[in-house]
Amino acid sequence: MTTAEVTSDREQAALGLRVAGWALHLYTASGSVLALLAVVAAFAGEVERTLWILLAAVVIDGTDGMLARRLRVSETIPGFDGARLDDIVDYLTYVFAPVVLLLTTDRLPEGTWGLVVAALPLLASCVQFCRTDAKTEDHYFLGFPSYWNVVAFYVVVLGLGPAVTTAILVVCAVLVFVPVKYLYPSRTPRARVLNLTLAGVWLLLYAVVLATMPHPNLVALILSLAYLGYYGVASVLLTGVDRVRRVRSVA
């Protein structure tokens, strides 16, 4: 093979990676369209459709990062900030659309107080998404990771009223600023395979629960809640272990 042929093959390979990279960015950006569809469905009173759309957004968010690293998009398309795109889409699908769903399903107090409560996750997540340490160097989320879509899902499925929902939103908004390191299932190195597997199972359980609405499958619902318990306990324990190690290293 001549030098010219080798160069041509490399150029074609580089072009292929750039095309794949742009396709991946479009895949990520499609989450913004899903957010719009979720808001439209929420205002139309189509609660289950809204939750299905938000599930699709989670699937996109859970897969685009791994694909981006595999395709080396930061190298092949250096002038485009995929992380910023991801944050924009995440804010729309994980924060804004779920809060709209809570408002349109009367899960928040009536009138002005309902708007005040709805503003809490919006404002808290605005701060979190702009923090440079929101994702730690060892690949955890610092503070409650704005899983308002998960909150909205369980509020609807469990039929929680405005008072309980308000309490949950207030607590989670405060936890955004509490420096607990939460698992980042696709990136946290500790027990990564286990965490990825459990996260995947949770997505399936979400689908089963939603498919059996308005009378959700009890087993699937309990198992999905058990995963949330595991996620919270594991995050707190790992945060404690890391702090002990840092103290010992300093001593």
| Complete DSSP assignment for 160-215 | --HHHHHHHHHHHHHHTTS--EEE-TTT--TTHHHHHHHHHHHHHHHHHHHHTTTS
Positive or negative, the Cα torsion across 101, 107, 113, 116? Answer: negative
Q: Which residue has the higher pLDDT, 191 or 45?
A: 45
Domain ranges of the chain: 3-250
Cβ 90 vs Cβ 61: under 8 Å? yes
Whole-number average pLDDT of the chain: 92
Per cent of the chain over pLDDT 70 is 94
Total-model pTM: 0.93
Q: What is the DSSP string of 138-160?
A: TSEEES----HHHHHHHHHHTT-
CATH number of the domain at 3-250, out of 1.10.287, 1.10.1060, 1.20.120, 1.10.10? 1.20.120
Q: What mean pLDDT do residues 226-238 have? A: 95
Q: What mean pLDDT do residues 125-143 have? A: 94
Q: What mean pLDDT do residues 167-184 have? A: 96
Q: How many CB atoms lie within 10 A of CB 73?
A: 23
216-236 burial, b at 16+ Cβ within 10 Å, e below that, comes to bbeebbebbbebeeebeebbe
Q: Is pLDDT above 90 for 246?
A: no
42-74 confidence digits (pLDDT tens): 999 999 999 999 999 999 999 998 899 888 898
Give the CA angle between residues 156, 92, 128 to the nearest 5°. Answer: 100
Per cent of the chain over pLDDT 90 is 79
What is residue 6's predicted lDDT score, i.e. its pLDDT? 47
What is residue 15's predicted lDDT score, i.e. its pLDDT? 80
The separation between CA 201 and the C-alpha centre of its own chain, rounded to angstroms, equals 15
6-32 confidence digits (pLDDT tens): 455 566 767 888 999 999 999 999 999
